[in-house]
Structures are given as C-alpha cells and as structure tokens.
Structure 1
Amino acid sequence: MKKLVALFVLLGVVLAHPAYSADDNQGGSLWERLRRKIEMFTPKKKISTTTAVGGVRGALADADDIYWKGETNAPSIDADELGAFKKAVSLHDAGDVEGAKAGFEDFLKKHPNSQLREDAEMALAQLQPKK
C-alpha cells in the first residue's frame, strides 16, 4: 500500500513539472506539434521504385481496402494555405507575437475550411495574453 501511495505522489510530482504543462506560452508542446504538422503536409520528393503485390484469388476486398506497397496516403493541402500557416508559425518562432496573431487571424479568414483550422485556433488562444 505504501508503495502505491509513493507511486501516486511521484507521478503527481512528475506531471506537475513545467515540461509537462500545456500552459507554457514559450513551451514546445503546441508549437512543436504545429511544426511536425507542417512537415507532414509539406510535399516530399517521390522516389520511383518497383514493387510487387500478391493477393489471394477470391478474397473479398474492395479496391480501396487494398494496401499497395510504397503507396503513401499523406494528407494534401493547398500550397498557399500551407505557406500562410508556415508564415504565422515562423513569426511566432521569431518572437513577433503580434505578427503571429495577425498571421493566424488572416489564415482563418482566408482558409475557413482548412484542415489546419483547429490548430490555428489553438495557436491564437495560446497567443492571447493571460488574465
């Protein structure tokens, strides 16, 4: 029982550490995730490879369900949309908080149906002064 209580106390101390805090304005959690998302949406150079695929005759599978080796289903996004989002994140990285706010607000106005909308809204909320 004492070991269990000690474990919970230790877990509480670790989770209370600033590195795990989502409220850290300069912290990497939100901004690192945004940078990873930008990397994910950035088009990669396609390498041509030859592959072979085998299947089982008579197997019940739709054409959409078949996995093709080497095929990537990376999400795609418009270059202008990605550029505007990238610019707002880079403004934050440069320390221009007001410019980043304006960049994210402009992004939301120009691209209301973007896949990055939720991330832009979270970034704007993070950039607002704490009361």
Structure 2
Amino acid sequence: MKRMIAIALLGTVLAAPAYSADDKQDGGSLWERLRRKIELLTPRKKITTTTAVGGVRGSLADADDVYWKGEANTQPVEEEELAAFKKALALYDAGDIPGAQAGFADFVKSHPDSRLRPDAEQALAQLQAKK
C-alpha cells in the first residue's frame, strides 16, 4: 500500500509542468507581466495651458489622485517614458538582448523618478542573468 502511494506521488511530481527561471508562481513571465502593464498605462501629454480648479475645504490632493465615480483607474506616465520603455521591450521581443539591455539602462538613467523604473531595473537584472 505504501509503495502504491509513493508511486502515485512520484507520478504526479513527474507529470507537473516545469517552469523556467523567469516564470513566476502565477505562471506568467516577467516579460508577459511587463507587456500587460504597459497596455494599461495611459500616456500623459505635456499641456502648455494653465487651468484653475475650485474645490472644497479638506486635505490637499492632486487632480490625478482624486477618484471620480465611474472613472477607470489608469496609471498615467509621460509619453516619452512610455515610448522609451516600449522601445526597450520591443528590442527584447526582437531578440536583440544587448540592445534591450542598453535600452533599459538608458531608461533607468534618463527617467529616475518614473513609475516604470522598478520594472526596468528588474528587466535589466533578468537580462544580465541571461548572459
């Protein structure tokens, strides 16, 4: 009886799918997660006009932080940030690993306060590990 249980357990372990080093527990790789993330981002255009907004008393809040009922929760980033990140990701997709590495390194250097910086650093680390 114990042998049958051991054989059954061994069979389930051997039948389990193998994951590569860049896969997460949820089954998606870093690159798939980055692609999904940039699809949800909204590029923010630089506006040269000045606007004024009236408000009510309370704590100070940026217009981007205010929740409006029915509004989709998007994460705006600057257009040039998003374009640079997409370019580096496209280089990786094309198989140009050195180009992608240079693109992500350039992104980190030129956009130190970006929301995408942690993702770019993680992609850089992943690319350096593949060397």
TM-score (norm 2): 0.63
- Structure 1: how far apart are the matches of 2:90 and 2:67? 39
Percent identity among equivalent residues? Answer: 61
Count of paired positions: 104
TM-align CA RMSD: 3.2
The runs of 5 or more residues in structure 1 that have no matched partner are 44-63
1:7, distance to aligned residue in structure 2 (A): 5.4
- Structure 2: how far apart are the matches of 1:76 and 1:65? 13
Runs of 4+ in 1 over 3 A off after TM superposition: 1-9, 64-67
1:123, distance to aligned residue in structure 2 (A): 0.8
1:14 equivalent among 13, 16, 20: 16
The residue that corresponds to 1:101 in the other structure is 101
TM-score (norm 1): 0.63
- Structure 1: how far apart are the matches of 2:38 and 2:67? 28
The one-letter code matched in structure 1 to 2:20 is S
Question: Deviations for 1:4-48, whole angstroms, at most 9, x for unmatched residues?
Answer: 864587257525x0xx22347xxx6111111111101145xxxxx
SS of residue in 2 equivalent to 1:128: helix
What pairs with 1:63-78 in structure 2 (closer than 5 Å)?
A: 68=69, 70-78=70-78
Identify if the C-alpha distance between structure 1 residues 124 and 65 changes in structure 2 by more than 3 Å, giving closer, same or farther. Answer: closer
The one-letter code matched in structure 1 to 2:122 is M
Structure with the larger strand share: 2
- CA contact 2:85–2:104 (8 Å) conserved in 1: yes
Question: Deviations for 1:55-114, whole angstroms, at most 9, x for unmatched residues?
Answer: xxxxxxxxx99761x311211111110000000000011111111011000000011111
Identify if the C-alpha distance between structure 1 residues 31 and 11 changes in structure 2 by more than 3 Å, giving closer, same or farther. Answer: same
SS of residue in 2 equivalent to 1:77: strand
